[in-house]
Amino acid sequence: MTAYEPPVKDYDFLLRNVIATDEVLSAVTAGDVSVDDAMDVVEGASSVVRPIAELSAIGDRIGSRLKDGTVVTPPGFREAFASYAEGGWIGLAAPESIGGAGMPRTIAIASDEFLSAANTAFAMAPQLNSYALAVFAAVNDSELNAIYVPAMIAGRWTATMELTEPQAGTDVSAIRTVAKPQDDGTWLLSGQKMFISWGDHDLAENIIHLVLARTPGAPVGLAGLSLFVVPKLLPRPDGSVGERNAIQCVSLEHKLGIHASPTCLIDYDGATGFLIGEPHRGLQAMFVMMNAARLGTGVQGLAVAERAYQAATAYAAERVQGQVIGRELDTPIAEHPDVRRLLLSMGSGVSAMRALAVQTAAWLDLSTSEQASTAKSAAALAQLFLPVVKAWLTETGLQITSDAIQVHGGMGYVEETGVAQLLRDARIFPIYEGTTAVQANHLVGRIVSRDRGASALAALELMSETCWELSELGHRVAVRIASRLESGVALLRQATLDLLDRGERPRDVFAAAVPYLHMWGLLAGGWMHGRMLRAALEGGDTSRERRIVEADFYGVHYLSRLAGLADVVAAGETVLA
């Protein structure tokens, strides 16, 4: 496979021309960081992942293995993790108040994309740390922070996220792991957690398990869950590691992809844990981690799609097969109309995904603004789009990795070119961190219905403003995408109102949830293309021609699907019964 080239220029374009980066930087860093500084970080992130990318294939081939009760990672992983941690990248987005670099998510997302594209399985280890750091920052327990946070930022200790049990997958309320209080204020945890990513390994000296468990006498269901920090090695007061805790990695899963990421069955046999946050409010604390991970998983979908797109582009530029209609003899397959369609579908999809992910990160950042009105509207937009980013980016990314195999023909299906690994790795993204259905249920059941569509309709209003601005430009492609976007806005507005009208028929609403979420993804992608096109036309960016072609293609090939999905949403459960 062609060497991975981190798309630094795309971030330069987005951060300077499309996203309100200045506003984000002033909200999060009080203006201490300029856009130029942010781009230095993005450049740095691109360099650090290059050697890690070279370990991706070996990680896939050898995988992590369980040996004498301990997980052994593939060759090169320990050294790569040590050097990544030494570079200070783990604490990039952690707030300065807990010792992090305090970089806005709008910037740190570039580092996440590059690392996940370079080596998805490896990336999950440091990324779990950064998600866990968000919990420690939110709960802000000074005693716990003093012991755990510095070691996690330095990468000496890594974190896990533990919800799943054999009977509790999507249904977290079925969790049975119990935590019994001890006289000294600690807790003893017993139970089994399954499918735990990086639940054991040899990259760091200690592992911090963040475990959802039930306390005696707690209310049944979600309200009875509390969150515990359960270290593999119990820390001494000076922060060094001491006695081994009663935690065991019993087995590793054999799985389709991300072979280097150990997926562990973890047994707790009276293990000592420490409550983090308040009792019975564990899910709320875990949601801080889950929200960070949902954005991160969407970015995994984007990252692997970008890598697949790069591989397909390079292969199609070299491979000669048959006479290309209307071109000279020996023209490579990239010029066959259908291969061109596949490549543009991948490229315009990736551009839409990236812009939407960065924009959502910007809304998350702006939701912390001191200006109350900015914070409120940004928080509403972030809430609305977070499930869309998780589900639509991972589903679209999966399709793009499959298209990359199609471009390679048989060479894509065999392992030699490496694109098969990308498809295998990407298949988990729409499953973990809440399946696509879970995200869609959250979107319709929690976000749209809770405020009777107010935030959804406000977002559609913003899209309409972009349509008007595009029409004003007078450029033929701008006018064309504006018209398609305007039709899409009308379809999604109607679909939203229809769903709200079905309050008495919840099965009908949830039957339409995933297609409805896809409508949001497709339309938001078109909105992002409209904004990128406008910036390119107005600013004379060097990528102007590419932006024009991608926006036009996206309008015809992606936005045209909205009408079909609107039909599916309207049908609801009628055709499923």
Ligand X SMILES: Cc1cc2nc3c(=O)[nH]c(=O)nc-3n(C[C@H](O)[C@H](O)[C@H](O)COP(=O)(O)OP(=O)(O)OC[C@H]3O[C@@H](n4cnc5c(N)ncnc54)[C@H](O)[C@@H]3O)c2cc1C
**Residues with catalytic roles:** 433
Among 195, 363, 385, 527, binds ligand X (CB under 6 A): 195
Among 190, 192, 284, 435, binds ligand X (CB under 6 A): 435
Distance of closest approach, residue 456 Cβ to ligand X, in angstroms: 20
Residue 222 interacts with ligand X (CB under 6 A): yes or no: no
Measured CA distances, 460 to 384, 431, 455, 562 (Å): 11, 28, 9, 14
What is the CB-side half-sphere exposure of residue 547 using CA atoms within 13 A?
A: 26
Distance of closest approach, residue 161 Cβ to ligand X, in angstroms: 5
Residue reference for tokens 């406008």: 534
Residue 291 interacts with ligand X (CB under 6 A): yes or no: no
Written as six digits, the tokens of 67 are 């040996």
Among 70, 170, 240, 323, binds ligand X (CB under 6 A): 170
Distance of closest approach, residue 445 Cβ to ligand X, in angstroms: 9
Among 33, 152, 161, 551, binds ligand X (CB under 6 A): 161
Nearer to ligand X, 196 or 522 (CB): 196
Measured CA distances, 53 to 198, 295, 303 (Å): 19, 22, 12
Among 135, 266, 426, 428, binds ligand X (CB under 6 A): 428
Nearer to ligand X, 114 or 198 (CB): 198
Distance of closest approach, residue 64 Cβ to ligand X, in angstroms: 12
Angle at 396 between CA 390 and CA 402, to 5 degrees: 135
Distance of closest approach, residue 442 Cβ to ligand X, in angstroms: 10
Measured CA distances, 307 to 6, 255, 361, 397, 509 (Å): 9, 21, 21, 10, 36
Span of 18-26, 156-164, 387-395, 547-555 interacting with ligand X by CB under 6 A = 156-164
Side chain identity at 299, as an amino acid letter?
V
Residue 92 interacts with ligand X (CB under 6 A): yes or no: no
Residue 437 interacts with ligand X (CB under 6 A): yes or no: yes
Written as six digits, the tokens of 17 are 């021309």
Residue 197 interacts with ligand X (CB under 6 A): yes or no: yes
Among 246, 250, 431, 479, binds ligand X (CB under 6 A): 431
Among 44, 51, 76, 169, binds ligand X (CB under 6 A): 169
CB 128 within 8 A of CB 197: yes
**What is residue 327's three-state secondary structure?**
coil
Among 119, 226, 263, 421, binds ligand X (CB under 6 A): 263
Written as six digits, the tokens of 233 are 């090695």
Q: Which residues pair with 158 in a beta bridge?
A: 207
Q: Point out the residue whose Cβ comes nearest to ligand X.
A: 169
Q: What is the DSSP letter of 363?
A: H
Q: Angle of helix 476-501 relative to helix 513-539, nearest 10 degrees?
A: 150
Span of 5-13, 62-70, 85-93, 191-199 interacting with ligand X by CB under 6 A = 191-199
Residue 344 interacts with ligand X (CB under 6 A): yes or no: no
Nearer to ligand X, 509 or 522 (CB): 509
CB 474 within 8 A of CB 401: no
Written as six digits, the tokens of 241 are 């590691």
Q: Angle of helix 372-408 relative to helix 513-539, nearest 10 degrees?
A: 100
From CA 228, how far away is CA 286, in angstroms rounded? 10
The radius of gyration of the chain from alpha carbons, rounded to an integer in Å, stands at 24
Residue reference for tokens 């305007």: 486
Query: Total residues at the site for ligand X (CB under 6 A)?
Result: 18
From CA 297, how far away is CA 295, in angstroms rounded? 6
Among 46, 127, 164, 245, binds ligand X (CB under 6 A): 164
Among 4, 136, 392, 432, binds ligand X (CB under 6 A): 432
Among 119, 367, 421, 441, binds ligand X (CB under 6 A): 441
- Cβ-based burial of 305 (10 A; exposed 0-12, middle 13-18, buried ≥19): buried
String marking each residue 310-339 x if it binds ligand X according to CB under 6 A: ------------------------------
Residue 163 interacts with ligand X (CB under 6 A): yes or no: yes
Distance of closest approach, residue 36 Cβ to ligand X, in angstroms: 37
Distance of closest approach, residue 163 Cβ to ligand X, in angstroms: 4
> 392-404: b or e for each residue (b if 16 or more CB lie within 10 Å)?
bbbbbbbbbbbbb
3-state secondary structure 451-465: CCCHHHHHHHHHHHH
Nearer to ligand X, 476 or 507 (CB): 507
Helix (H) or strand (E) holding 53: helix 50-53
Span of 333-341, 352-360, 374-382, 424-432 interacting with ligand X by CB under 6 A = 424-432
How crowded is residue 37: how many other Cβ atoms within 10 Å of its Cβ?
Answer: 13
Sites of contact with ligand X (CB under 6 A): 161-164, 169-170, 195-197, 255, 263, 428, 431-432, 435, 437-438, 441
